[in-house]
Structure 1
Amino acid sequence: METPCPLSAKYEGSFAYFTVKDRLPQILTKVIDTIHRNKNKFLEDYGEEGIEAEKKAISFFSKLRNELQTDKPILALSDQQPDTQIWNQYLDYQKTLLSNGEEPSWFRSPWLYVECYMYRRIQEGMCLSPPISGFDVFEDVKKESFFQSQPAMLSLCAHLQELKGKMSGFSNTEVREEIHKLLQVSLWGNKCDLSISGGQDNSQKTSVLSSLEDFKAFILVDDMDSLWNILLRNRDGNNESRTRVDIVLDNAGFELVTDFILADAMLSLNLATEVHFHGKVGPWYVSDTTKHDYDWTIQKCLATNNKWMSKCGQTWKENLKKGRWVYHQHLFWTLPHEYCTMAEVAPDLYTELQKSDLVLFKGDLNYRKLTGDRKWDYTVPFSEALRSFHPAPLCSIRTLKADVQVGLQEGVGERLSAAETDWMISGKYGVIQFSPVV
């Protein structure tokens, strides 16, 4: 089958067009505002040098916003980061896809590329503004989202502790039911995405557990039983059997806590022996999880004045200490490359994922990179859209926030399009979509 063309802002009226035209400038405006609001902090920490750096960063981002809004050509990166050369080579590759003399630009290039490129340029802007280079321009909104979502997190932590009190007498059927519940919680936790809301409050105020039955009708692909069959092997195996689950993380805040709850339950219910988490090397897509966010979240849960949440934080800290939880970060997750190129671009990461029994990819950006962010027919099988990317059995757990979706039953996409024009971008629908090793 011929690979379809990538989604792009050149298609007016598309979500890609709306993103590049409205959402990305809005995010850059918030970045400028955040840096300006921290002016006094920079003065306190670094004196006049901090103020000069603040001005320099604001000037950089104002210029970047103008480049974007006026559809200027994509520029090579000028910082000296470990991935600079890879990005600049990718720009050269994009040039080879165009007719003579045409330059890759914000509205005419693939959406996945230019959106990732904007976040990489944000890293560049900070990098070129010492001594404030280490400042995370999205940290404030990530923390705010965490605190706003605390009531929902508390109810999940209480549920998990209650579950642990009863689980020793559970049959496999009861365990299956519980893990299905927590997979769905992890799915709907993916609604809390600050890049989609342009950095506006998008926290989870109410308990997701009480809404699961109502939400079931909105799961378009439900492959939970395929995951259960892999996890069950560990539960039914002998003491020597080891099952490794990898979670490629998406958002910090509420979603990260739902991922922690799921990972904790997998170990406690004897469905996995170790869980490996993969996060971003730096601030990305507003709310994506970095190592700092990961550690901060565990620490905050541990220090919370609530016995269930604090107990969870304690367990999670111990899991890390004992090596039952392992955190990884790799430059590849913040490159613009589709995942079908991973074996070539980042063979070490591909080899690492091959050690896994099950890889869970959280969220929309991961789905876009898994499928190449292309205009696939709705019914194209998921495994086919992955092309050569099959390091281990894998599953996408994602609420739909971009106009790409594969693996649907005949007629479902058309029926939804006729009823709801925004079904692919509203976050109302979700998938738990599995692909075996092909």
Structure 2
Amino acid sequence: MYTFCPPIDDFDVFKEAKEQNFFESLESITALCIHLQELMTTIEDLEENQLKNEFFKLLQISLWGNKCDLSLSGGETSSQKTNIINTLEDLKPFILVNDMEHLWSLLSNCKKTREKVSVTRVDIVLDNSGFELVTDLVLADFLLFSNLATEIHFYGKMIPWFVSDTTIHDFNWVIEQVKHCDHKWVSKCGVDWENYVKMGKWVYHDHIFWTGPHEFCAMFHVAPDLYAELQKAHLILFKGDLNYRKLTGDRKWEFTVPFHRALNGFHPAPLCSIRTLKAEIQVGLRPGQGEQLTASEPNWLTTGKYGIFQFDGPL
């Protein structure tokens, strides 16, 4: 049983910093929303391989958006100053585990069998607000518009907690800011996102488990209602470093330990960690890969320079 004490029960000490991150990233947010709207005008003409490439592009944008973390920057500005779309090719070598093909295979198969399975649900366990949240919303919009998913369920923090973590206030605030942007195509994104929420195509959840001390393998027993909700998803995307630490129990695993084993029985649905590395834990690497990185860059685990798409589910 948890209780919250007014008048500070909804006070967010990080609110100003999160909003500053959004406004300082506005140029990049504008470019990203324009890209999405341009993509939507041509999406019916795209061949399957082209659609897959666009999906991969937006996944990578969501990954590198995870760099914008106020906990990593010590409260200093962590905004996205450049058009992230133009940097994706240069950043590819820094993706240490790349299971994007598995995500495409899963969702495209769901799309092809939509007559049998009328709903394809993707759940996104959010990390940071500001620019990163916008990258997640753009990805979610693409999933709906491309018919790779029919419902998106978002999970945020119930209380202001870990620096730039997303709460329901941040979720609604970002949509409202995008909706009132001066650029008509950016504004259209905000209008669409608001409508998705009203129509039930986007659903926001919060749960006290996300701010508790438990690793995720304890969820089945500690928060069975949340575990049952996640089981309804066809795919769960876990954003960010803290979610990865809780997925793997924050243990000092050997680099080559399989991701499936490190999850320690946590398998509500097929899942993928989308994370830039900011903590001293990483599993599922090739033999020698971690040691080679340590020799050349001793701090590679904590700088946010490297990223992963690490999938667990039927292949």
TM-score in same-fold range (> 0.5): yes
Name 2:291's counterpart in structure 1.
Answer: 414
Cα distance change on mapping 1:269 and 1:150 into 2, 3 Å: same
- Provide runs of 4+ in structure 1 moved above 6 Å: none
Taking the TM superposition and a 5 Å limit, the aligned residue runs for 1:211-222 are: 211-222=87-98
Equivalences for 1:235-314 in 2 at 5 Å?
Answer: 235-239=111-115, 241-314=118-191
Q: Supply the distance in 1 between the matched residues of 2:189 and 2:9 (Cα, whole angstroms).
A: 33
Identify which of 9, 18, 21 aligns with 1:142. Answer: 18
- Return the TM-score normalized by structure 2: 0.97
Higher relative contact order structure (alpha carbons within 8 Å, sequence separation ≥ 6):
2
**3-state SS of the aligned residue for 2:309?**
strand
Contact 1:234 1:241 in 2 (8 A): no
The answer on whether the counterparts of 1:302 and 1:312 sit within 8 Å (CA) in structure 2 is yes
The aligned length equals 314
In terms of fraction of residues, the more helix-rich structure is 1
Task: Work out whether 1:203 is the aligned partner of 2:79.
Answer: yes
| Shift of residue 309, structure 1, vs aligned partner | 1.1
The separation in 2 between residues aligned to 1:322 and 1:339, in whole angstroms, is 30
Q: Does 1:180 align with 2:99?
A: no
Distance of aligned partners of 1:437 and 1:173 in 2 relative to their CA distance in 1, 3 Å threshold: closer
In structure 2, the residue matched to 1:89 is: none
CA contact (8 A) 1:234 1:270 kept: no
- Please state how far the C-alpha of 1:233 moved relative to its aligned partner: 1.8
Alpha-carbon spacing, 1:269–1:200, altered in 2? closer, same or farther (3 Å): same
Whether the 8 Å CA contact 2:14–2:164 is kept in 1: the answer is yes
Q: Which amino acid aligns with 2:164?
A: S
1:365-423 Cα offsets, whole Å, 9 max, x none, are: 00000001110000000010001100000000000000000000000000000000110
TM-superposed deviation, 1:241? 2.9
Tell me, yes or no, if structure 1 residue 162 matches structure 2 residue 81.
no
Q: Which residue is 2:101 aligned to?
A: 225
8 Å contact 2:277–2:305 — kept in the other structure?
A: yes
Q: 1:412 to 1:313 in 2, by over 3 A?
A: same
1:189 maps to 2:65 = yes
Q: How far is the alpha carbon of 1:437 from its aligned partner?
A: 5.9
Please point out which of 317, 325, 343 is paired with 2:202. Answer: 325
Counterpart CA distance in 2 for 1:132 and 1:348 is 27
The superposition leaves residues 26-62 of structure 1 with CA deviations (integer Å, 9 ceiling, x where unpaired) of xxxxxxxxxxxxxxxxxxxxxxxxxxxxxxxxxxxxx
Are the counterparts in 1 of residues 33 and 186 from structure 2 also a CA contact under 8 Å?
yes
Counterparts in 2 of 1:299-378, with a 5 A limit?
Answer: 299-378=176-255
Structure (1 or 2) with the larger CA radius of gyration? 1
Query: Percentage identity across aligned positions?
Result: 58
Instruction: Give the TM-score of the pair, scaled to structure 1.
Output: 0.70
> Could you say what secondary structure the match of 2:162 adopts?
coil
Residue 134 of structure 1: CA displacement? 3.2
Deviations 1:335-355 (A, max 9, x none): 010000000000000000000
Superimposed CA distance per residue, residues 177-219 of structure 1 (whole angstroms, 9 cap, x where no aligned partner): 0000000000000000011212111111111110000000000
Give the 3 Å change call, closer, same or farther, for CA 206–336 of structure 1 in structure 2. same
**What is the distance in 1 between the residues matched to 2:294 and 2:104?**
31
Tell me, what secondary structure is at the counterpart of 2:160?
Answer: coil
1:283, 1:201 → 2: CA distance? 19
The corresponding residue for 2:282 is 405
Cross-structure match for 1:396: 273
Structure 2 letter corresponding to 1:300:
Q
Q: Do the aligned partners of 1:247 and 1:362 also contact (CA within 8 Å) in 2?
A: yes
In structure 2, distance between residues paired with 1:231 and 1:132: 42
Candidates 299, 304, 312, aligned match of 1:427: 304
| Equivalent position amino acid for 2:268 in 1 | P
Structure 1 residue runs of 5 or longer lacking an equivalent are 1-81, 85-123
1:83 maps to 2:2: yes
Counterpart in the other structure of 1:116: none
Cα distance change on mapping 1:356 and 1:134 into 2, 3 Å: closer
RMSD of aligned Cα (Å): 1.4
- The amino acid of 1:338's aligned partner reads E
The Cα of 1:306 is off from its aligned counterpart by 1.0
Of stretches 373-382 and 190-199 in structure 1, the one that deviates more from structure 2 is: 190-199
Report SS of the residue matched to 1:422. Answer: coil
